[in-house]
Amino acid sequence: MHRIMSFLERYFLPVADRIGKQRHLVAIRNGLISTLPLTVVGSLFVIFLNLPINGYEEWIAPIRPILDIPFRFTVGVMALYAAFSVGHFLGESYKVDPLSSGLLSTLGFLISVVVPIQVTDNVKGVIDAGRYLSIGDLSSTSLFGAIVTAIISVEIYRFLLQKNITIKMPSSVPPAVSKSFAALIPTFVIIILFAIIRYGLHFDINSTVTLLVSPLKQLLVGNSLFGGLLTVLLIQLFWSFGIHGEAVLGPIIRPMWDSAILENMDAFEKSGSAAHLPNLFTEQFLQWFVQIGGSGTTIALAIWFLTSKVKFVKQMGRLTIVPGIFNINEPIVFGTPIVMNPILIIPFILTPIVLTIISYIATILGLVPMMMAKLPFTMIGPLGAMMSTNWSIGAAILAIINLCIALAIYYPFFKIFEKQQLELEAQREAEQEA
């Protein structure tokens, strides 16, 4: 175990650290995280539209189109928000105007991905003749296109500013006006470039990028058990060295996670069933079935800590149990510590792997539905599992069973750790008496 940890620390962590700090990947991660309020609230409306109450669907039928609007303008146009937010954070990292960066990114996305639909004849009561934008082009299906066009747009903006290919105003002009004029030439260049690519060359950036990313997405967040286990293993390995696993992998896997849950939400909205959705290994699957109480299912360890005979361990249990209930486990990971602890690292890595396999089997057997909502990560485990699977009691039961399994896995390692701490406590007391 020591040799493995030494090897990973020497060769694996430096590469991961560089990836985690890469400017464009950080902008993608921060940009997508900033859309969290929209996806969470949109998910709540999906749940609200599908409450498992007899007669509920008929009761809300007259106002269902109105109640569906919040979902359509949050989750339904997520790529539009992502284009702006990713561009904003990338521009901020380059120390160019973040607002202009976000606006230019949105512009590039709309021109290169969204093709207006021409309606030539009026359809009475349905649609009038004119040009329309399909809301489907702004959904999760265009998320990868939004990210790529945002990066290209900001890079063009930054390059032109650095080369002084811009309109400069006198220092007496208000900053807001000066920044607007500075963005005029970049705006013109971005419009021409993306218009040529989309309408001159007939090249669809979004379709191409989505096609290239598809194999990796299907491996990590699709329905592949190997991919799910690989994701879990990497997250736990990073945490074992004191590095936030989700934060390091986030720039790479978060666009796939967000795209996966948005696809599930859209499919559920159309079918009304969570039994057969496109993606099994969403972030929510890991959140509610595997990472109960935080990465490593550490709430199980916090529960055992409460029963300890060691004063320090028992106190640690009291301090970490409440945060653990709400899936915040940094106090127990760094306070115990679990990081670089040769005893506790084993169940910390092993438990999520076992729970991933069990939860995967339960899902493919149809015992629990797939995830169709994105809820706050601080939601209490079984409740979050139930709500995210369209109020499935089976999902809540699986979360409780997984917690019991986690308790069983952690128990022998907890006893070894407790024995070690008892000896240390007795030694310290003897030294104080002496």
**pLDDT digit string, tens, across residues 132-175:** 888 888 888 888 999 999 999 999 999 999 999 988 888 778 88
Main-chain phi, psi angles of 172, to 5 degrees? -75, -15
Determine, yes or no, domain membership for 263. Answer: yes
Residue 3 within any structural domain of the chain = no
Q: How far apart are CA 101 and CA 152, in angstroms?
A: 11
150 found inside a domain: yes
Amino acid sitting at position 302: A
Asked if 326 and 273 sit in the same domain, the reply is: yes
Burial of 207: CB neighbours in 10 Å, binned 0-12, 13-18, 19+: middle
Torsion of CA 73, 250, 30, 192, to 10 degrees: -70
Does residue 167 sit in the same domain as residue 237?
no
Residues 393 and 288 in one domain: yes
Token pair for 285 = 């699957």
What pLDDT score was predicted for residue 36?
85
**Is 12 inside a domain boundary?**
no
What is the Cα–Cα distance from 346 to 417, expressed in whole angstroms? 12
Same domain, 316 and 387: yes
* Identity of the amino acid at 37: P
CA dihedral of 174, 179, 182, 188, whole degrees rounded to 10: -130
**Structural domains counted in the chain:** 2
Number of H helices, E strands in the chain: 22, 2
Positive/negative CA dihedral, 49, 51, 52, 56: negative
Q: Is 202 left (phi over 0), alpha (psi -120 to 50) or beta?
A: left
Claim to verify: residue 340 and residue 377 sit in the same structural domain: yes
Residue where a domain stops, chosen among 145, 172, 206:
206
Q: Is residue 428 part of a domain?
A: yes
- Are the C-beta atoms of 91 and 77 separated by less than 8 Å? no
Tokens of 320: 């970490």
Residues 277 and 417 in one domain: yes
Q: Taking Cα atoms as reference points, which of 45, 39, 43, 47 lies closest to residue 79?
A: 39
* Residue 43 belongs to some domain of the structure: yes
| Domain shared by 170 and 230, yes or no | no
Nearest residue to 241 (alpha-carbon basis) of 317, 139, 324, 349: 349
Whether residues 343 and 322 share a domain: the answer is yes
Question: Are residues 70 and 148 both part of a single domain?
Answer: yes
pLDDT tens for the chain, residues 1 to 434 = 556 556 666 666 676 667 667 889 889 888 988 988 888 888 888 888 877 778 887 888 888 888 888 888 988 899 999 999 999 999 999 999 999 999 999 999 999 988 888 887 777 767 788 888 888 888 888 889 999 999 999 999 999 999 999 888 887 788 888 888 889 999 999 999 999 999 999 999 988 988 888 888 888 888 999 999 999 998 898 888 777 777 777 777 888 898 899 899 988 988 888 888 999 999 999 999 999 999 999 999 999 999 998 888 999 999 999 999 999 888 898 888 888 788 899 999 999 999 999 999 999 999 999 999 988 888 888 999 999 999 999 999 999 999 999 999 999 999 999 988 888 888 877 777 76
Give yes or no for a contact between 262 and 324, defined as CB atoms under 8 angstroms apart: no
Same-domain status, 255 and 193: no
How far apart CA 24 and CA 28 sit, in angstroms, is: 6
ω into 337 cis (within 30 of 0):
yes
Domain end, chosen from 206, 232, 261, is at: 206
pTM of the model: 0.78
**pLDDT tens, 376-425?**
888 888 999 999 999 999 999 999 999 999 999 999 999 999 988 888 88
Q: Of 154, 179, 206, at which residue does a domain stop?
A: 206
Is 5 within the bounds of a domain? no
Is 194 contained in some domain?
yes
Q: Is there a single domain that holds both residue 362 and residue 416? A: yes
Q: CB within 8 A of 18, min separation 6: which ones?
A: none
- Residues 180 and 244 grouped into a single domain: no
In whole angstroms, give the CA distance from residue 312 to residue 152.
53
Distance, CA of 221 to CA of 257 (rounded, Å): 6
**E strand residue ranges, 160-250:** none
Which structural domain, as residue segments, surrounds residue 44?
23-206
- Return the number of other C-beta atoms located less than 10 Å from residue 278's C-beta: 17
